[in-house]
Amino acid sequence: MMLLKSLRSSGSFRSVLLLRFAGSVRNASKFDYDLVVLGGGSGGLACAKEAVEYGARVLCLDYVKPTPAGTKWGVGGTCVNVGCIPKKLMHQASLLGEAVHEAVAYGWNVNDRDIKPDWKKLVKVVQNHIKSVNWVTRVDLRDKKVEYVNSIGSFVNPHTIKYKTKQGELKQLTAQYVVIAVGGRPRYPPIKGAIELGITSDDIFSYEKEPGRTLVVGAGYVGLECACFLKGLGYDPTVMVRSIVLRGFDRQMSEFLAAMMTERGIHFLNTTIPMGVERTPEGKLLVQYRNTTTQTDGSDVFDTVLWAIGRKGLIEDLNLGAAGVQTYNDKVIVDHTEATSVPHIFAVGDIIYGRPELTPVAILSGRLLARRLFAGSTQLMDYTDVATTVFTPLEYSCVGMSEEMAIERLGADNIEVFHGYYKPTEFFIPQKSFRHCYLKAVAEVSGDQKILGLHYIGPVAGEVIQGFAAALKSGLTVKTLLNTVGIHPTTAEEFTRLSITKRSGVDPTPASCCS
């Protein structure tokens, strides 16, 4: 027990579990595999790689169907190929364009004032990076002895999976446990021309043509992020918003974000839905739309139409009926242990109904599941207080409750909202707008004032909030926050200076940076 404790505290808990359970896993199984993972994305790969650590025999099936525009990619799933990674690289590319102009203000001699991005070159370097990650992923799977098959898997019965080999041969195998980690793909609206003429985030990061004037339909994460990097790269995006921007997020912060985007020249078509797309004789895209508030129709011409209207779960090929797995709205229903309606079949990642669609969520839940299945662990995934970031030029990051959620759950009288605008030091010389640099802490009103939610709009928001997310999970209070010495001059330190409450009505605009 002492040894277990010391190994646990020295971070070697995994080694102990491995020793205790590796042998038993191998001996017990009467199936071809201890675990078959359907889907080689963030969640599936994390689960498969963790399971082999404990001696499990694991096979992972992963297959990507090309998009209607013909885009396809390799192993690793959405995040690596058409999600977080290419998005972050394009976000960075767009921030660098802004930084070049700031550099001039800081005294750099930049000779070519007509600085322009080269879209084709950007796409090429981004795609090269992705291919290198695909390659590393395959090598990693081989080294770790996870069997990887590039094919679509589907159920024959609850313990049997079938797939086709590259040569077209139909194979079947049995598994003690099956993990469904098939993720999702972008939706297309059911209107004329949507599939034939529009693209999605699955296409944009490898799009050979310059996007030009782009209509981005949808105002969730994908829509806002794509519109922002396109703007930063010199294109002209318009965001079509069906109801509100960033539904589900803190309203005040979301509206700030939209205002920041407007300030940067991104257009919004509010309360508007697309009605149809057709190609003009000049080769452009004519989009018909309807404003649902005024009930008026309109149209405009674009070079590119990008659907960012959410994602559907990829259950279509799984033949879940043969396994008896219950679904809801193309997602798989699971309990608190990620078990489906069939006890030995689990699901992780985006395919789960009602859980955050984020890579770190998929990875951690996949790892924890493997430990529970093969290493005797009992630790469950905690889906609360998951931090997230919207990668717009001033990023928005948050963890915990929105102001609205706190009011709904605790009542307005029982919460206190501390807030403030701030002026990043580095913004002064290039005279960047800090109108939307704002942060707030939503806290309980009484006692040490436990913090329920933190929200921040500003530079590198994700980097700022990540550490605070750990603090919040550890029971951070306003008292602790205000007793924390800041790191000066940073923007993150603004959280340690939050002394003005909304209730007080005091103007939260700072007089200077250092008081």
* Kind and range of the H or E run holding 197: helix 194-197
Is residue 210 within 8 A of residue 121, CB to CB? The reply is no
Is 261 one of the binding residues for ligand NDP (CB under 6 A)? no
- Tell which one of 175, 245, 305, 318 touches ligand FAD (CB under 6 A): 318
Closest CA to 278 of 269, 288, 268: 288
Question: Helix (H, G, I), strand (E, B), or coil: what is residue 141?
Answer: helix
**Residue 288 beta carbon to ligand FAD: minimum distance, rounded to whole angstroms:** 26
Which class for 440: exposed (0-12), middle (13-18), buried (19 or more C-beta within 10 A)?
buried
Distance, in Å, from the CA atom of 181 to the CA atom of 172, rounded to the nearest integer, reads 19
**Residue 146 beta carbon to ligand NDP: minimum distance, rounded to whole angstroms:** 26
Under the phi-then-psi rule, with left for phi > 0, alpha for psi from -120 to 50, and beta for the rest, what region is 183? left
Question: Helix (H, G, I), strand (E, B), or coil: what is residue 489?
Answer: coil
Q: Any idea what DSSP says for residue 465?
A: H
**Residue 472 beta carbon to ligand NDP: minimum distance, rounded to whole angstroms:** 18
Residue 400 is assigned to a ligand binding site: no
Q: Any idea what DSSP says for residue 67?
A: P
Of 212 and 360, the one with the shorter C-beta distance to ligand FAD is: 360
Is residue 202 within 8 A of residue 71, CB to CB? The reply is yes
Is residue 264 within 8 A of residue 435, CB to CB? The reply is no
From the list ligand NDP, ligand FAD, none, which binds 219 (C-beta under 5 to 8 Å, kind-based)? ligand NDP
Helix ranges (H only) for 37-115 are 42-53, 77-82, 84-105
Residue 221 is assigned to a ligand binding site: yes
Is residue 461 within 8 A of residue 468, CB to CB? The reply is no
Interface of this chain with ligand FAD, residues 50 to 89, rule: CB under 6 A: 61-64, 77-79, 83-84, 87
Question: Helix (H, G, I), strand (E, B), or coil: what is residue 206?
Answer: coil
Is 308 one of the binding residues for ligand NDP (CB under 6 A)? yes
Of 238 and 449, the one with the shorter C-beta distance to ligand NDP is: 238
Give the per-residue contact string, 357-396, with ligand NDP (x = CB under 6 A; - = no): xx-----------------------------xxxx-----
Is residue 307 within 8 A of residue 189, CB to CB? The reply is yes
Of 85 and 175, the one with the shorter C-beta distance to ligand NDP is: 85
**Residue 109 beta carbon to ligand FAD: minimum distance, rounded to whole angstroms:** 35
From the list ligand FAD, ligand NDP, none, which binds 77 (C-beta under 5 to 8 Å, kind-based)? ligand FAD
The backbone torsions φ and ψ at residue 124, rounded to the nearest 5 degrees and listed phi first, read -65, -45
Interface of this chain with ligand FAD, residues 408 to 467, rule: CB under 6 A: none
Q: How many CA atoms lie within 13 A of 286 on its CB side?
A: 8
Question: Helix (H, G, I), strand (E, B), or coil: what is residue 313?
Answer: strand
Is residue 266 within 8 A of residue 235, CB to CB? The reply is no
Distance, in Å, from the CA atom of 361 to the CA atom of 381, rounded to the nearest integer, reads 9
Is 37 one of the binding residues for ligand FAD (CB under 6 A)? no
Is 41 one of the binding residues for ligand FAD (CB under 6 A)? yes
From the list ligand FAD, ligand NDP, none, which binds 189 (C-beta under 5 to 8 Å, kind-based)? ligand NDP
Is residue 293 within 8 A of residue 171, CB to CB? The reply is no
Of 148 and 307, the one with the shorter C-beta distance to ligand NDP is: 307
Is 214 one of the binding residues for ligand FAD (CB under 6 A)? no
Q: Which stretch binds ligand NDP (CB under 6 A): 126-134, 168-176, 221-229, 278-286?
A: 221-229
From the list ligand NDP, ligand FAD, none, which binds 451 (C-beta under 5 to 8 Å, kind-based)? none
Of 39 and 218, the one with the shorter C-beta distance to ligand NDP is: 218
From the list ligand FAD, ligand NDP, none, which binds 41 (C-beta under 5 to 8 Å, kind-based)? ligand FAD
Of 129, 336, 344, 488, the active-site residue reads 488
488 is catalytic: yes
- Tell which one of 276, 360, 430, 510 touches ligand FAD (CB under 6 A): 360
Is 369 one of the binding residues for ligand FAD (CB under 6 A)? no
Q: Is the dihedral of CA 253, 257, 258, 262 positive or negative?
A: positive
- Residue identified by tokens 């008896």 is 324
Binding stretches for ligand FAD (CB under 6 A): 38-44, 61-64, 77-79, 83-84, 87, 152-154, 181-183, 201, 222, 314, 317-318, 349-351, 357-360, 362
Binding stretches for ligand NDP (CB under 6 A): 189, 217-223, 225, 242-243, 247, 273, 308-311, 356-358, 388-391
Q: Which residues does the annotation place in the binding site for FAD?
A: 88, 153, 350
